[in-house]
Amino acid sequence: MKRTRLILRHWLLICFALLCVSTPTGLPSALGAGVEFTSSPNPVGSGARAIGMGGAFIAVADDATAASWNPGGLVQLERPELSVVGEGFYRLENNNFADFPGASGEQSSSKASLNYLSVAYPFALWNRNMIVALNYQHLYDFSRNWNLTLASPDLQTNVSFNADGGLYAYGIAYCVEIIPRLSFGFTLNIWENGIYDNGWQATARQQSAVRILENEWWTVQSVSRDRWSFSGFNANLGLLWHVTEQLTLGAVFKTPFTGDLKNHHSSVSGLITPDRPEGRVIERENSTQYEELAMPMSYGLGLAYRVFDELTLSVDVYRTEWGSFVRTDAEGREYSAVTNLPLDQSQVGATTQVRVGAEYLFIKPKVIIPVRAGLFYDPAPAQGSADNYFGFSLGTGIGFDRYVFDVAYQYRFGRDVGSALLKDFTFSQNVSEHSFYTSLIIHF
């Protein structure tokens, strides 16, 4: 009799495992397996003024944030200046799981952080204007919070996924006026821990409970944690050409590079049964992997036209070669960092973003009040074809004496996007992002 009960429980456990497999139990590991930017994957630069103009700033680049947009524009600064930029966002993801409609619904996340910090010092040497600058920039964000529930009379699965962190870079910039109206600059970016840790972390929790007998439930609980850290260095190269008093052309090139990627993974799974309500561990894992992450090259052109002293119009076109965004694991195997598929199975192309903006200045005695607006197309890389994101921005501020204070609001949205996020699920989402920026510049 005892042997019969053991055999019965053995087969119940097998049935339980099969039932769990029929639910999206791979969801947490799928979410945490890759390099999932939740911010725009195409960051060009920082600053409330530039964002207020829709990010069309490559050919404007006339404040200290030029080190991130186009270091060739830094030479336009006439006085030393200190700048600090803060940002905050609210992101809403309306998820659609076609095969598991119970998991569909809205998920949200929000965050506030330092976006940019810099100090710039212009000077003249050998009859040429020059400038040096130091800066710290937030480039990518990973924040995501999902809580999903699948329920039926005999089975319930709860999934919780939380991610946080970002990638940041220190920058050392230099710009020189080569000839009148033409300047060249570069920024050396060092991607290391600083004010914030340079990396991200993800925690996935899952609980699956199934009715084995009429009044008997078995539950499997699992928790996995991944912490990623990233380091490397690259350069931004920029040119700015004042073609006429009104027309300016800008160009920027951001070099590709391969950085060190370290992953520490830990997980534990436990089984709770009526005879073991305290639970027992059925699997435990703890490992550290040293990998590499190849960041793609990107480049852009900008055009700015000063219609008259108070009004400036601008347009940027910027391209990123996402096909070379590659993660190499500890065994030397290469995967697309966009799709997590082996390179020979991945079809990820470049994306081209287009941004247009305008700035109008109300010039009063001792005070300048700007009004800014912009539109943009900011696609995200994906398997097969890019996900389409669009948006607009608005901005204003005030400048007086030695101080300039700017604010900007940006709305970015995508519809029927994100299928590459969960390639093993019939998945898509509608995304809405609300971002706010504030900048303070002090001239000395």
pLDDT digits over 237-279, tens only?
A: 999 999 999 999 999 999 999 999 999 999 888 777 766 666 6
Q: What DSSP element (H or E) covers 65?
A: none
Gap between the Cα atoms of 269 and 257, Å rounded: 38
Take residue 424 and report the two structure tokens written for it.
């093993």
Nearest to 435 by CA among 414, 405, 412, 415: 412
Residue with tokens 């996020």: 421
pLDDT band for 130, please (50, 70, 90 cuts): very high
Residue 399 pLDDT more than 70?
yes
> What is the structure's pLDDT at 7?
40
> What is the structure's pLDDT at 198?
92
> What is the structure's pLDDT at 19?
44
Mean pLDDT across the chain, nearest whole number? 87
CA atoms within 13 A on the CB side of 12: 16
Identify the bridge partners of residue 262 per DSSP, sorted by sequence position. Answer: 229, 290
CA atoms within 13 A on the CB side of 375: 0
Among 153-157, 175-179, 206-210, which stretch is predicted with the lowest mean pLDDT? 153-157
Gap between the Cα atoms of 83 and 221, Å rounded: 48
Gap between the Cα atoms of 426 and 429, Å rounded: 11
The predicted-structure confidence for 100-129, as pLDDT tens digits, reads as follows: 787 889 999 999 999 999 999 999 998 899
**Which domains does the chain carry?**
2-443 (2.40.160.60)
Tell me what the mean pLDDT of segment 359-367 comes to: 93
Between 350 and 26, name the one with better pLDDT: 350
DSSP letters for 256-297: -EEEEEEEEEEEEEEEEETTEEEEEEEEEEEEEEEEEEEEPP
Take residue 221 and report the two structure tokens written for it.
């609980």
Q: Three-state SS for 98?
A: coil
> What is the structure's pLDDT at 271?
78
pLDDT band for 71, please (50, 70, 90 cuts): very high
